[in-house]
Structure 1
Amino acid sequence: MIKFHIQRSPFVVPTTDGKLIEEHFGNATDNSEISVAHMVAPAKWSEPFQTPEFEEYTYIIKGRKQFIIENQKIILEAGESIKIEKNTRVQYSNPFDEPCEYIAICKPAFHIDLVHREE
């Protein structure tokens, strides 16, 4: 029995907003219980508020990322990380002039039906 899995071909999630999402583990790749994704949010990027049914951990590799969590604005820089509890209203954005590269981990694994984005 093999005790490990090396991911050399992450699933690139199709997007229309210029954001790169490479899922290494998760529902799109191997039905893992968690999802692990490498992301690059372009400058001036944002998405609607959402209230996900999963915990989300974010580690910033390069640039900065803005979070509005329950009406509190937080800005993380390279080398910083955050854990956001499930069922928390949050908006993710990169209002800055440079891209933001980061790793996101969701538990349970990301699934669009669990995000609950606002219109």
Structure 2
Amino acid sequence: MKKYTVIKNPFIVPTTDGKIIKEHFGNATTGDSNISIAHMTAPPGWKEPFQTPEFNEFTFIIKGKKQFIIDNEIVVLKAGESIKIEKNTRVQYSNPFENPCEYIAICTPAFSLDQVNREADL
């Protein structure tokens, strides 16, 4: 039995907002509920509703910029910067900028729709 796992074809999460989500490890790809690792690209003008996830989320920006509203504070990260947002923190993710934002997101435990707690309105 091998003590490693190689992902060559990540799970492409279906979206309706233009965001590209390629999950390499996590519930959808490997069935792992402890961690999810996804490579994402958010188009210009993209945003999600506010949410209060039941997991920690780490984000590393590869290209572009990404805006976070965390407990009413606006934080903008650019390429080479990262952030950890503690679970049970109200946050909104967006890309109000002119260029796409490419980034890696890591969630512990793994991302799941039933634990993201998205609010209904943008």
Q: TM-score, normalised by structure 2?
A: 0.97
SS of residue paired to 2:114: helix
SS of residue paired to 2:30: coil
Question: Which amino acid in structure 1 is aligned with residue 4 of structure 2?
Answer: F
Instruction: List 4+ stretches of structure 1 deviating above 3 A.
Output: none
1:48 matched to 2:49 = yes
Which residue does the alignment assign to 2:95?
94
Question: Which amino acid in structure 2 is aligned with residue 59 of structure 1?
Answer: F
Deviations 1:17-60 (A, max 9, x none): 00000000000011221000000000010010000000000000
Which residue does the alignment assign to 1:13?
13
Ranges in structure 1 where 5+ consecutive residues have no aligned partner: none
Which residue does the alignment assign to 2:86?
85
C-alpha distance in structure 2 between counterparts of 1:112 and 1:9, whole Å: 22
Aligned length: 119
SS of residue paired to 1:113: helix
Q: TM-score, normalised by structure 1?
A: 0.99
C-alpha distance in structure 2 between counterparts of 1:4 and 1:115, whole Å: 29
RMSD after superposition: 0.4
